[in-house]
Each structure stands twice: as structure tokens, then as C-alpha cells.
Amino acid sequence: MLFKFTIIDQYQPLLSHFKGNEFITFTYFNSYNKTFTFALVNFEGSLNNKLPQIGPSIFSVMSGLANEHKAINLAQGFPDFDCTPDLKKLVSKAMENGFNQYAPMPGIMALREKIAIKTENAYTAIYHPETEITVMPGATLGIYATIAALIKDNDEVIIIEPAYDSYIPAVELAGGKAIVYEMAFPEYKIDWNQLKKLFNIKTKMIIINTPHNPTGTILSSEDIKKLEKLVENTDTLILSDEVYEHIIFDGYEHQSVARYPKLANRSIIVSSFGKTYHTTGWKMGYVLAPANITVKIRKVYQFMAFAANTPIQFAYTEILDRADLFNELGQFYQNKRDFFRQAIKNSKFKLHPCNGSYFQLLGYDKISDLNDLEMARHLTIENKLASIPVSAFYKRKTDHKVLRFCFAKSEDTLSKAAEILCKL
């Protein structure tokens, strides 16, 4: 088989299979513009496919499309601005001081101690840094390690949709069965009485996410109390994805399950330094869980990555002393949310409420009859603005004609995006 490589940039690969499989093009978007064609040998035997229904992530697809068509990228959830210079200096200092070898598997102790202090100050919850806190290379890996460690064949895991796209594949790879509950549109609220009907003796875990990706909704204290009642007298674990814990608006407080002792003793909390410090590319997060749960997660994690980046751990250890950086993060992103919403208020798009995260949902039913994937592609190719179709967050690809836009961008980027949206 002939393979043709068009090198345009080293960062964003887009793999395209051409008709007849005569060649495959790898496109890397930016400045190289070089093409190479050569033959590779295919494996002729049979191959197992554990995720036959899964293709490339929608985030890779839409970011690749944005790069290909030179569109403004409000699709993938990362900032287009830098982290504080102090944090980069701390990474350099750690490297210069020789902290360049493997860290302890659960993370350096100094960082785990700082996480324990931060968690206690925020949620009055005590986690032992030795036995209940594990630093990992990113929250997604923390989610995967947790599911791989705690879910076995035929265990049922309740997933509340729309949901981050790693949840269901992780459950299925562990041999579990994803039981999907769809939040009511357009409010994206949970009807706990309806959710309760999905529980049975096989229900091993429920995954919650607050503040929520992609909808920007948050769980209230009343929601958490209903969850507490729901799992009472069961063996159901709670996996709580709290990566946007500090990005919450309008005076609301983040309702971490750590605040609720009856839930904390059965919960695994996943958090992200990348979201908090504008460093998504550094891939660093952590997992909080009771000791008897943590030991099971670490057994699996040690064979997945073993340890997270050492100098970056030392940098986060020191920057955690700057409480202002995470305490003021909500207001920082609220200003961006308000700027973006104000800029598009006269457009034909419907603005859905956003109380947390850095995502804004926009309904386009007054603009087009296209399904959301077609609309996202059209907007990217024809109007040079990339978004994420919300149907990608549903197992059944439920389409409410809603797109997700990331507002973790500079005001200049948001202004240019708003100008495009207001012309539609």
C-alpha cells in the first residue's frame, strides 16, 4: 500500500483514508508544505477492535478542520493565552535544580500535602496525603485509571448526558455497561426521580460532573443531597469529575462531594491543574479518594503511567501558595463569559445559561435546519469559526441543534468570533 504524507505542521495530525486505500495522507497544519509518498506493509492477520464504534475524538476532528481552513478555534477547550510567567519560571528552576528523574508513583509528597491543605481550606474535607491523594498525568487518565480499577465485567455505570466523551469508552474497555441518563433539554437539569429508576443491584458507579462540560450547568446543594439519598444503603461508588471546580460564576459555590461526608466516603474526585492554571498541555491532575479505594486505583495506575512529570509537580507545589490564582479564577472567566455573551446578544443564536466551566452553548434552530455536526462543519469551513456539536456528547447522538463554544480566549479572539456569529 502506498502512503502519502503532506507535512504542513507538526502539531495537529489529521488522518484521511482515500478511496481504494491507494494511499493515506497525514496532514500537519502550518508551514512545511512537503509531501512524501512511500509504501508500508500492512498486517495481514486478524485484529481485535475493542472500540469498533469509536472514531477519532470530535475535539481532534474539529480542531483539525479549524487548522485546515484557518478558522478561529472555539472548539477545543484550551486557552489561547499563557499561564503566569511565575509558573514557567518555577518549572525551569526545578529542572535546573536537578528534579528531572521519576517522581514517586503517587506524586511528590510536598505537592500532595499542598493539595490536602487546599482541599481542607476549600471544602473542610481532610484527605491524607500519603494514602488518599494521587497525582497523575491529567484528569482524563485519572478518570480512566479509576474506572479500570473499580469496574469489572457486567458492572453498570450510570452516565449523565451530555457527557465528556471519555466516560463511556473507559467503562466499556473495563467490561462494564454504560447506562445513560439524558438531562432534560433545554435546562439540562437532572430529574432525580427518573434517574433513580436506572439504579439496580448491578449499579456499581455513577459519574457526575460539576461544573459541567459541555453545558456550563452546576449541581446545587439540593442536587447533592438528592444524590446522597439515592446512593444511601447501596454499594454504588461516585466518580466526581470536578476539573472546573474553580470556574464557577454569579456567586455560586462549587458543591464538591468532598463537602458531604456521607458521599466523600464512597467518592473518587478528579481535579485538574491544567484547567486551573491555563496549562492544559502540561497534563497534570489528581485523584482524591478514601484509602481503601485509592490503593485499588494505584494498583492499576502504576502500570499505566507510573509517575507524572517531576519538575512540573515541583512548580505546582510552589504556585499553590498563591491562593489568589485559583480564588480569582471564577471572576476571571466570568468576565470572559459576560464579554462573549454581550458581544453576541444581537445574534440569532439562543444563549443557554452558563454558571460554570468555560463553555457557552448556543442554539441555532432559528438559523439552519442542518444537524449539529453538519452545522459545525459548515461554520468552520464557510465562516471560519470552529465549535463542537453537542450531539458528540451523547451515546445516541441526540441533536438539539446546539453548538459548544469555548470562551477561554482573548477578548480579541472572542470579538472576531462574535462578529462572525452576528452575521449569521
Q: What is the DSSP string of 122-174?
A: HHS----TTTSEEEES-HHHHHHHHHHHH--TT-EEEEEES--TTHHHHHHHT
| Cell numbers for 392 | 458528540
> From residue 72, how far is each of 60, 80, 409, 417, 421 by CA, in Å?
15, 11, 10, 7, 12
As a whole number, mean pLDDT of residues 54-60 equals 89
As a whole number, mean pLDDT of residues 271-275 equals 98
Query: Residue 44 — very low, low, confident or very high, per pLDDT cuts 50/70/90?
Result: confident
Q: Which amino acid belongs to residue 279?
A: T
- How many Å apart are CA 353 and CA 268, to the nearest integer? 28
Chain segment 290-326, per-residue pLDDT in tens: 999 999 999 999 999 999 999 999 999 999 999 999 9
Q: How many residues does the chain have?
A: 424
pLDDT computed for residue 26 by the predictor: 47
Of 126, 410, 87, nearest in space to 274 by CA: 87
328 Cβ partners below 8 Å, 6+ apart? none
Query: Residue 36 — very low, low, confident or very high, per pLDDT cuts 50/70/90?
Result: low
384 contacts 72 by C-beta, under 8 angstroms: yes
User: DSSP alpha helices (H): ranges in 281-410?
Assistant: 291-301, 310-319, 323-327, 329-343, 372-383
CATH of domain 85-326: 3.40.640.10
Of 156, 192, 195, 148, nearest in space to 50 by CA: 148
At residue 31, does pLDDT exceed 60? Answer: no
| Cell numbers for 16 | 484521511
As a whole number, mean pLDDT of residues 161-184 equals 97
Given the C-alpha cell 487518565, which residue does it identify? 141
pTM of the model as a whole: 0.91
241 forms bridges with which residues in the sheet? 209, 270
Of 350, 365, 351, 355, nearest in space to 333 by CA: 355
- How many Å apart are CA 332 and CA 96, to the nearest integer? 32
339 contacts 367 by C-beta, under 8 angstroms: no
Q: What kind of fold does domain 62-77+334-422 have according to CATH?
A: Aspartate Aminotransferase, domain 1 (3.90.1150)
> From residue 267, how far is each of 89, 166, 275, 292, 349 by CA, in Å?
35, 19, 21, 11, 38
Count CB atoms within 10 A of the CB of residue 37.
11
pLDDT computed for residue 27 by the predictor: 45
pLDDT computed for residue 239 by the predictor: 98
For 402, the 3-state DSSP assignment is strand
| Cell numbers for 247 | 470556574
pLDDT computed for residue 19 by the predictor: 39
- How many Å apart are CA 179 and CA 154, to the nearest integer? 11
Q: Please compute Rg for the chain using Cα positions.
A: 22
Lowest mean pLDDT segment, chosen from 20-24, 101-105, 262-266, 323-327: 20-24
Longest dimension (CA), the chain: 62
Chain segment 67-112, per-residue pLDDT in tens: 999 999 999 999 999 999 999 999 999 999 999 999 999 999 999 9
Q: What's the mean pLDDT when you consider all of the chain?
A: 92
Long-range own/partner contacts, residues 114-120 (CB < 8 A, 24 or more apart): 114/316, 114/317, 114/320, 114/321, 115/286, 115/288, 115/320, 117/320, 118/320, 118/323, 118/326, 119/258, 119/288
Chain segment 366-402, per-residue pLDDT in tens: 999 999 999 999 999 999 999 999 999 999 999 999 9
pLDDT computed for residue 32 by the predictor: 52
Q: Which amino acid belongs to residue 27?
A: T
Count CB atoms within 10 A of the CB of residue 194.
12
Question: Hey, which of 9-18, 58-67, 311-320 has the most confident mean pLDDT?
Answer: 311-320
| Cell numbers for 204 | 456499581
- Domain ranges within the chain, ordered by starting residue: 2-39, 62-77+334-422, 85-326
pLDDT computed for residue 24 by the predictor: 47
DSSP string, 250-304: TT-----GGG-HHHHTTEEEEEEHHHHTT-GGG--EEEE--HHHHHHHHHHHTTT
353 forms bridges with which residues in the sheet? none
286 Cβ partners below 8 Å, 6+ apart? 107, 112, 115, 133, 134, 135, 136, 142, 270, 271, 273
DSSP annotation of 353 reads P
